[in-house]
Amino acid sequence: MDLTFENFPYTRPRFDEYSASFREELARFREAASAEEQGRALGRINELRTEFTSMYNVCHIRHTMDTRDDFYEKENEYFDQQMPAYEGLVNEFYKLLAVSPFRDELEKKWGQQLFTIAGLSLKTFDESVIGLLQEENKLGSAYTKIKAKAKILFRGEEHNLSSIVKYEMDKDRAVRKEAAEA
């Protein structure tokens, strides 16, 4: 079986369980006695992050493709609430990473970019704004839903703002112009 986006499995991450696993790895990272131990914890943290963000991305794309799908509407609402909390967990990790006594060894294995990203994130995120970020996500989702309701008649077919984009990006200038004016 070929794995395509249509049949890519989606499972809602249970944030309470996810958060507990993430915090366990944070404790391992914090208590590590060597660069190797911290590196292993960092690897597990990255795996956890990949699992969570993969499910978020699948949900977000499927919801954006059809904002009328009740299942992905509810999943999107779930992520609107959970993503700021997820960002808070990642920020906790970045705080530990920034003060790691094994930074030089970790940089050799994981690269300087990770530390640059961590430093920038620490300057731009504060847990006190999690509630505001949740509200921002909710408003962004409402805006996406409004945009999806737009009805554009183009060449005898009804499109929304997302589906007309392929014509606005067509190689033929006349098609692009026609789509933009539709």
pLDDT in tens for each of the 182 residues of the chain? Answer: 678 888 899 999 999 999 999 999 999 999 999 999 999 999 999 999 999 999 999 999 999 888 889 999 999 999 999 999 999 999 999 999 999 999 999 999 999 999 999 999 999 988 888 899 999 999 998 888 887 778 889 999 988 887 888 999 999 999 999 998 88
Residue 158 pairs in a beta bridge with: 153
Cα–Cα distance between 86 and 45 in angstroms, integer? 12
| 125, 87 contact by CB (below 8 A) | yes
Residue 152: phi, psi to the nearest 5?
-120, 120
Q: Give the pTM.
A: 0.78
Helix (H) or strand (E) holding 159: strand 157-159
Is 96 within 8 Å of 121 (Cβ atoms)? no
Contact (Cβ atoms closer than 8 angstroms) between residue 107 and residue 115:
yes
d(CA 44, CA 121): 20
The 10 Å Cβ neighbour count of residue 111 is 11
pLDDT at position 60 is 93
Q: What angle do the packed helices 15-31 and 35-65 form, to 10 degrees?
A: 160
First-to-last C-alpha distance (Å) of the chain: 40
Q: Determine the Cα–Cα distance for residues 77 and 86; give it in Å rounded to an integer.
A: 14
Spans of all domains in the chain: 5-149, 150-182
Q: Give the Cα separation of 143 and 19 in Å (integer).
A: 29
